[in-house]
């Protein structure tokens, strides 16, 4: 078991004596604060913070991070307050501890919601100081190493959380050493039997592979030495979770996955990396399409390396990574490599620079943007999970800048990556200078240009194909605000219509009366009240009566809503709070009635629709409506055609409808008998005149017996 003296010996290699002394002070403070507390394993609790600090010391983290590691459970598990820590160890350490500390115990009905809330607050803490997440990762790593003392169900829950959240975060920050261990321990916790079987299988074949690995390694090393390139070749062990995922994703057997031999070549300069690549391509044949240059175009987490696949002697597949020593350190330690290479002038955590740190800050900034736009913590964590599993594609802006996007990204994702305003107003895209659909998947090397229009706005359908968290959260945020604006506008129209019965308008009502009503109905703002009316959650006539009732309750002031013949006009462009019933499919020209549906706004039905027959006279639930003169848009209608069997009839029918400028959405057929067929056609038309034109064309077909408009 490690002791504080073991840690101090390790710290002497890179910290100053006074900094080591502060770490020692933090340890003794934690030891005293946790006195009497024990872990599930029976060990003294202080062994946990000491182990967390040791993990960070292996990454050469600064003394403040180590102090925070020692004290990270003090605020939650002991009576010590943040102010007390600040007095003892300074504000920076106290803020770090506060950021890392587990949340105040909030009782959630749903564990998923609790996990989401935790991560949301962790993201906010990360924004203040990126070291928070490094301490948190070290804390999680030691907890995973000591899972053995827990119940099986708790093991699986913690392992799942580790694989879903913490391991991807470590990967996103480039800390490969922590990521791989978290994945291995998470795999063992989630699937202990699969882990053991795979582990034994790897151990059994390792002996058979040693000779082959040694021969390939010697051949590669000899090739590099003969060219005097100064690189060192290492064999690369495959991780169990990586093997397991490959077997499942590619549907390959264990022997097929283990047939590939991996090697890493580490050298001194970037130039030498490319020269080594040329030398080994001369030695073994490269596999076409399997070369990746992450040196010229690094991954989002700062990872740099050359990747190539070769066919070795006797047809053995070989995977080789070539990188410099600095890249090797970056691959293993990621953002933590910043502290490893920090110069004397960069001791202040606030003065941190470097590409890896800049990328991490950019990512956290993106997290905050998503957090502000997300409707709730579960939606936020859904976006973050999308962002944490990127298989990157690299595309170019029209100016030649490189943009990195996850695999499966579309032109809409690209537009939002450029800027949220560009995404919100995009209408089309040019990929490699050719017009392409916004839903087209992007591929590495393509040039993408976004065409925008001031009047454009995000489409709900975009959510079905966007791949980035930023695009998804921005679209949802915009649509929520848009729906709010539309429901407020509709709510005001409905309220004015109700107030017509009292010869009043909403703008005529004194502010004092409106404020009194808001207080009575428990709404904070007028917009909240109008939004509730527009969404159908509160009846407009009831609100109107409450407003007028404050002026008096005479019979003249309390008419029935039927006393007004005013009808709401439908323009066809109302947006998300007005919809058209799918039971009767009303179209411009039909007599219509609006049904106020809770949470959906107004659903427009035909006046004769059977589904609203029982409530059509209820003024609280139905609103008289009419079509405006300039109504625009496509409206869905269903027609039913009874025809005699004839070869090619459906094709002729479709051609006639298309010629009449109607858009076919769906066609279904059903046989009446051996002679007759019934065809149901769902199509988009503009009004009743357009529908009549389509039906006249269909009647001209000789085998059509009858054509009617279908209603449920």
Q: Which two tokens stand for residue 554?
A: 């005479």
* Residue 88 neighbours by CB distance under 10 Å: 15
Chain-centre distance of CA 334, in angstroms?
Answer: 23
> Could you tell me what percentage of the chain is helix, strand and coil, using 3-state DSSP and rounding each to the nearest 5?
55, 15, 30
- Residue 183 designated active-site: no
- Of the candidates 491, 493, 705, 709, the residue with the CA atom closest to the CA atom of residue 589: 709
Chain-centre distance of CA 300, in angstroms?
Answer: 16
Q: Which two tokens stand for residue 655?
A: 């051609």
Q: Which two tokens stand for residue 706?
A: 């009858």
- Residue 323 to residue 176: CA distance in whole angstroms: 15
* Residue 325 neighbours by CB distance under 10 Å: 12
Counting Cα atoms < 13 Å in the Cβ hemisphere of 611 gives 16
- List 322's β-bridge partners, or say none: 265, 306
- Residue 624 to residue 15: CA distance in whole angstroms: 78
Q: 437, 491 in Cβ contact below 8 A?
A: no
Angle between helices 63-71 and 131-145 in degrees, nearest 10: 50
- Residue 682 designated active-site: no
Q: Which two tokens stand for residue 540?
A: 């407009």
The label of the residue with tokens 């070769």 reads 310
Q: Which two tokens stand for residue 530?
A: 């109008």
Q: 68, 100 in Cβ contact below 8 A?
A: yes
φ, ψ of residue 454 in degrees (nearest 5):
-60, -30
- Of the candidates 84, 74, 22, the residue with the CA atom closest to the CA atom of residue 48: 74
Q: Where does residue 127 rank: exposed (0-12), middle (13-18), buried (19+ CB within 10 A)?
A: middle
Q: Which two tokens stand for residue 419?
A: 């800027």
Q: Which two tokens stand for residue 283?
A: 């030695």
* Residue 500 neighbours by CB distance under 10 Å: 16
Exactly one of 31, 43, 77, 634 is catalytic; name it: 77
- Residue 532 to residue 652: CA distance in whole angstroms: 49
* Residue 492 neighbours by CB distance under 10 Å: 20
Q: Where does residue 404 rank: exposed (0-12), middle (13-18), buried (19+ CB within 10 A)?
A: middle
One DSSP character per residue, 247-265 reads HHHHT--HHHHHT-EEEEE
Parallel, antiparallel, or unpaired: how do β-strands 232-236 and 261-267 relate? antiparallel
- Residue 393 to residue 443: CA distance in whole angstroms: 6
Exactly one of 76, 259, 346, 642 is catalytic; name it: 76
Q: 584, 712 in Cβ contact below 8 A?
A: yes
Chain-centre distance of CA 489, in angstroms?
Answer: 31
Q: Which two tokens stand for residue 697?
A: 């064309």
3 state DSSP class of 197? helix
* Residue 171 neighbours by CB distance under 10 Å: 23
- Of the candidates 536, 409, 385, 383, the residue with the CA atom closest to the CA atom of residue 473: 383
Residues with catalytic function: 76-77
């Amino acid at each position: 078991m490690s002791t504080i003296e073991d840690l101090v010996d390790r710290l002497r290699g890179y910290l100053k004596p006074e900094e080591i002394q502060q770490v020692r002070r933090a340890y003794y403070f934690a030891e005293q604060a946790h006195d009497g507390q024990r872990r599930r394993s029976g060990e003294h609790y202080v062994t946990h913070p000491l182990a967390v600090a040791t993990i960070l010391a292996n990454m050469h983290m600064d003394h403040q991070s180590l102090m925070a590691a020692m004290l990270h459970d003090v605020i939650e598990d002991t009576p010590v307050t943040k102010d007390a820590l600040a007095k003892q160890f300074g504000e920076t350490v106290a803020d770090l501890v506060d950021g890392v500390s587990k949340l105040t115990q909030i009782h959630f009905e749903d564990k998923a919601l609790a996990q989401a809330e935790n991560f949301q607050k962790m993201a906010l803490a990360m924004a203040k100081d990126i070291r928070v997440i490094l301490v948190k990762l070290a804390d999680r790593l030691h907890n995973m190493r000591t899972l053995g003392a827990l119940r099986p169900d708790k093991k699986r829950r913690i392992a799942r959380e580790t694989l879903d959240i913490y391991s991807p975060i470590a990967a996103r920050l480039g800390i490969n050493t922590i990521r791989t261990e978290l994945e291995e321990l998470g795999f063992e916790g989630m699937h202990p039997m699969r882990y053991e079987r795979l582990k034994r299988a790897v151990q059994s074949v390792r002996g058979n592979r040693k000779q082959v690995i040694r021969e390939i390694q010697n051949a590669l090393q000899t090739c590099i030495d003969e060219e005097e390139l100064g690189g060192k070749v290492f064999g690369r062990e495959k991780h169990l979770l990586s093997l397991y995922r490959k077997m499942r994703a590619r549907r390959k057997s264990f022997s097929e996955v283990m047939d590939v031999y991996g090697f890493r070549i580490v050298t001194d300069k970037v130039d030498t990396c490319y020269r080594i690549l040329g030398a080994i391509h001369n030695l073994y044949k490269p596999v076409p399409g399997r070369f990746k240059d992450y040196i010229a175009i690094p991954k989002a987490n700062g990872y740099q390396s050359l990747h190539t696949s070769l066919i070795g002697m006797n047809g053995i597949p070989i995977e080789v990574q070539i990188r410099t020593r600095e890249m090797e350190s970056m691959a293993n330690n990621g953002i933590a490599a910043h502290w490893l290479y920090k110069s004397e002038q960069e001791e202040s955590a606030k003065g941190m620079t470097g590409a890896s740190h800049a990328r991490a800050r950019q990512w956290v900034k993106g997290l905050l943007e998503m957090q502000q736009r997300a409707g709730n913590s579960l939606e936020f964590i859904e976006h973050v999970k999308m962002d944490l599993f990127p298989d990157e594609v690299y595309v170019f802006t029209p100016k030649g800048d490189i943009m990195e996007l996850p695999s499966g990204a579309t032109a809409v994702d690209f537009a939002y990556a450029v800027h949220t305003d560009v995404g919100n107003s995009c209408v089309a895209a040019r990929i490699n200078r050719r017009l392409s659909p916004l839903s087209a998947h992007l591929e590495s090397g393509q040039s993408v240009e976004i065409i925008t229009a001031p009047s454009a706005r995000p489409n709900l359908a975009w959510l079905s194909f966007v791949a980035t968290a930023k695009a998804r959260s921005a679209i949802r945020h915009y649509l929520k605000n848009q729906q709010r604006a539309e429901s407020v506008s509709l709510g005001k129209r409905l309220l004015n219509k109700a107030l017509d019965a009292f010869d009043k308008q909403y703008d005529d009502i004194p502010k004092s009366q409106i404020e009194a009503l808001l207080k009575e109905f428990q709404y904070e703002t007028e917009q909240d009240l109008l939004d509730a009316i527009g969404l159908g959650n509160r009846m407009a006539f009831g609100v109107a009566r409450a407003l007028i009732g404050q002026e008096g309750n005479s019979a003249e002031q309390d008419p029935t809503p039927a006393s007004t013949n005013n009808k709401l006009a439908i323009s066809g462009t109302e947006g998300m709070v007005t919809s058209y019933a799918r039971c009767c499919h009303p179209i411009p020209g039909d007599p219509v009635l609006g049904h106020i549906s809770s949470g959906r706004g107004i659903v427009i039905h035909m006046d004769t629709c059977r589904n609203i027959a029982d409530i059509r006279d209820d003024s609280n639930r139905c609103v008289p409506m009419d079509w405006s003169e300039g109504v625009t848009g496509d409206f869905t209608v269903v027609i039913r055609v009874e025809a005699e069997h004839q070869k090619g009839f459906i094709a002729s029918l479709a051609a006639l409808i298309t010629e009449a400028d109607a858009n076919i959405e769906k066609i279904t057929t059903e046989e009446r008998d051996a002679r007759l067929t019934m065809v149901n056609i769902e199509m988009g038309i503009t009004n009743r005149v357009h529908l009549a034109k389509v039906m006249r064309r269909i009647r001209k077909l000789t085998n059509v017996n009858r054509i009617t408009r279908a209603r449920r």
